[in-house]
Chains A and B, each alone.
Chain A
Amino acid sequence: MRRTPPASEAHEHSREILQRYRDGQIALAEALQWLAGPGDNPQGADQEPLSRSALLNLLAELDTMVGLEQVKATVREIFALLYMQQRRRQFQLQDEPVVLHMVFKGNPGTGKTTVARLLSKMLHQCGWLSKGHLVEVERADLVGEYIGHTAQKTREQVKKALGGVLFIDEAYSLARGGEKDFGREAIDCLVKSMEDYRDQLIVIIAGYEQEMDWFLATNPGLPSRFPIHLSFPDYDASALMAIARKMVSERQYRLSREAEHKLRAHLQEILQTHTRRGHFSNARYVRNTLERSIRRQAMRLFEETRISREAAMTLEASDFVWEGEVL
């Protein structure tokens, strides 16, 4: 599925090897050997067949995310397909090149970037992407200032993303400027690159549901080029609470019972008053709230000379205060 790396990639590869030598991770002879044979993957990940249990391990990480049932199901489909392709190859059957460009639709804070990041990592681990990094860009990174500049900039970003995922946030803004806008040029260039490097690159465009639908409708070639559409629904209060619990435990904190109550009541209230689409930043709001309460807890405990481990971990109800914050 992979080609021999182009010159720039080989250069990158050798720099990585030198860095690893500098850090004392590999011996000099090894470094030289790898430098001598560019493309010799040190892990030998190319040939290693993808096993079912390894796949299930990868998917387990995705399953820890709260909600997003449709997304999880689709990702399962993708991985099943990749696995099946490999098994078909063992029987010398024809395998279609898999095109995995995706559209992520959803309101802010519904996990689009997180899922994209996770996906790129998973696809790297199962050997589909050679590097598995995520390049996050927006309109300003793609669109240039003068004629001809746009294609150059776009191509540069695509080059940077080769072997990984190019994640275009608020992609609809590329088509917003009207007929003479340079955003069109960026789209055309992108479409071409997607075809050219379809086995080295995954392009994910993300944005609000309605805007993305409109964006796909503006260019007749676009919908067919993004075969996978994922919708990220808004979270309800209990899902947000589950997210909050997960976030605090990741940071080695805990919510006291009163704090949990207070947070739940607050989230429910917010969800009721702000039902209008796009005005509530879902999980990001939860994260910001928690981070602020962690700061307040630090202030509260700052005065005390002696604290227990328990106290250092617990966020009390008094740490949660909402006044004039952004949703």
Chain B
Amino acid sequence: MKRALIIGRSNVGKTLFCIHFAEYLGLSKLRWRVQHPEGQRESLRLGVQQSKAALTNSAPHFTRALQSVDIAIPRGKLGYQLMLTDSTGLTDGIHSDVSLRRAMAQTLEELLHADVILHMVDAAEIVWAPLDEQIYAFGRKSSGYLLLANKIDLPAAKRGYRQLARRVSPALILPVSALNGNGFREVKQCVWRMV
């Protein structure tokens, strides 16, 4: 079982990407394994639409737990299992909310064990925060790191993407749109190659 972690600042579209990417890979019923920072685990079986309604929201810090979906990768005779994990959004500094801080610490802990790090940034916003720089620095040391410039469907995102491409190595960056599914094929190829 390989572990892929989607990480990034809050409100960049991690959960939506996770849902749509799973859908793109052929899952219609998603089995979410939710792991709360306090330690409880629950299992949810939701369709794509239901998942979107239940798990995503435009308010920041809607996700406060690790939510994983298992995806089968057809390769060779047996295939591989990939655990795609959606995580709590990170904010810089010391967040005043203790439970949120626990959730972020949980994200960081998962980061240490992840085989593939999918680092997501919002290309339409101010793109490169110090926090992203840190995650990038961390990711560069591990073998599986990919930077996803999300929200590429928005008009402002083209410029943001160009800025990003200047900042980091272009081989590591992919433009995607979690909403429309642009760029999922490339993400799939890259992830398959890494695991």
Tally of contact residues, B, Cβ under 8 A: 22
Is the C-beta of A14 less than 8 angstroms from some C-beta in chain B?
yes
B137–A35 touching, CB < 8 Å: no
Listed stretches A19-27, A112-120, A161-169, A253-261; interface member? A19-27
Q: Which residues of B contact A31 (CB under 8 A)?
A: 105, 108
B112–A35 touching, CB < 8 Å: yes
Chain B residue with Cβ nearest A36: B138
B138–A24 touching, CB < 8 Å: no
Chain B residue with Cβ nearest A20: B105
A22–B101 touching, CB < 8 Å: yes
Q: Residue-by-residue, is B112-145 near A (CB-CB < 8 Å gives 1, otherwise 0)?
A: 1000000000000000001100110110010000
Is the C-beta of A275 less than 8 angstroms from some C-beta in chain B?
no
A32–B109 touching, CB < 8 Å: no
**Using a Cβ cutoff of 8 Å, how many contacts connect chains A and B?**
55
Is the C-beta of B155 less than 8 angstroms from some C-beta in chain A?
no
Is the C-beta of B102 less than 8 angstroms from some C-beta in chain A?
yes
Most chain A CB within 10 A, of B90, B98, B134, B141, is at: B134
Q: How far is the CA of A14 from the CA of B108 in the complex (A)?
A: 10
Contact residue among A19, A29, A35 (Cβ-Cβ distance under 8 Å from B131): A29
A21–B93 touching, CB < 8 Å: no
A22–B105 touching, CB < 8 Å: yes
Q: How far is the CA of A24 from the CA of B138 in the complex (A)?
A: 21
Is the C-beta of B104 less than 8 angstroms from some C-beta in chain A?
yes
Is the C-beta of A313 less than 8 angstroms from some C-beta in chain B?
no
A28–B93 touching, CB < 8 Å: yes
Q: How far is the CA of A36 from the CA of B142 in the complex (A)?
A: 10
Q: How far is the CB of B65 from chain A (nearest CB, A)?
A: 15
Count class of interface residues, chain A: 10 to 19
Chain A residue with Cβ nearest B135: A32
A32–B131 touching, CB < 8 Å: yes
Q: Which residues of B contact A36 (CB under 8 A)?
A: 134, 137-138, 141
Chain A residue with Cβ nearest B131: A29
Contact residue among B91, B101, B131, B135 (Cβ-Cβ distance under 8 Å from A21): B101
The DSSP consensus for interface residues of chain B is helix
Is the C-beta of B42 less than 8 angstroms from some C-beta in chain A?
no
Quick one: given A21-B101, A22-B105, A35-B111, are A28 and B91 in contact (CB under 8 Å)? yes
Is the C-beta of B59 less than 8 angstroms from some C-beta in chain A?
no
Is the C-beta of A18 less than 8 angstroms from some C-beta in chain B?
yes
Chain A residue with Cβ nearest B93: A27
B112–A24 touching, CB < 8 Å: no
Q: Which residues of A contact B94 (CB under 8 A)?
A: 21, 24-28
Q: How far is the CB of B136 from chain A (nearest CB, A)?
A: 10
Is the C-beta of A33 less than 8 angstroms from some C-beta in chain B?
yes
B105–A32 touching, CB < 8 Å: no
Contact residue among B108, B134, B135 (Cβ-Cβ distance under 8 Å from A18): B108
Q: How far is the CA of A18 from the CA of B102 in the complex (A)?
A: 9
Q: How far is the CA of A31 from the CA of B93 in the complex (A)?
A: 10
Q: Which residues of A contact B91 (CB under 8 A)?
A: 28
Chain A residue with Cβ nearest B111: A35
Q: Residue-by-residue, is B137-166 near A (CB-CB < 8 Å gives 1, otherwise 0)?
A: 110010000000000000000000000000
A18–B90 touching, CB < 8 Å: no
Q: How far is the CB of B121 from chain A (nearest CB, A)?
A: 15
Q: Which residues of B contact A33 (CB under 8 A)?
A: 134, 137
Q: How far is the CA of A116 from the CA of B126 in the complex (A)?
A: 55
Interface residues of A in 1-44 (CB under 8 A from B): 14, 18-19, 21-22, 24-29, 31-33, 35-36
Q: How far is the CA of A18 from the CA of B108 in the complex (A)?
A: 7
Interface residues of B in 71-109 (CB under 8 A from A): 90-95, 98, 101-102, 104-105, 108-109
**Residue contacts A-B, CB under 8 angstroms, 27 given:** A14-B109, A18-B105, A18-B109, A21-B94, A21-B108, A22-B98, A24-B94, A24-B101, A25-B94, A26-B94, A27-B92, A27-B93, A27-B94, A28-B92, A28-B95, A28-B104, A28-B131, A29-B92, A29-B130, A32-B108, A32-B135, A32-B137, A32-B138, A33-B134, A35-B138, A36-B137, A36-B141
| B residues adjacent to A (C-beta < 8 A) | 90-95, 98, 101-102, 104-105, 108-109, 111-112, 130-131, 134-135, 137-138, 141
Other than the known A18-B109, A22-B102, what 7 A-B pairs have Cβ atoms closer than 8 Å? Answer: A28-B91, A28-B93, A28-B95, A31-B105, A32-B134, A35-B112, A36-B138
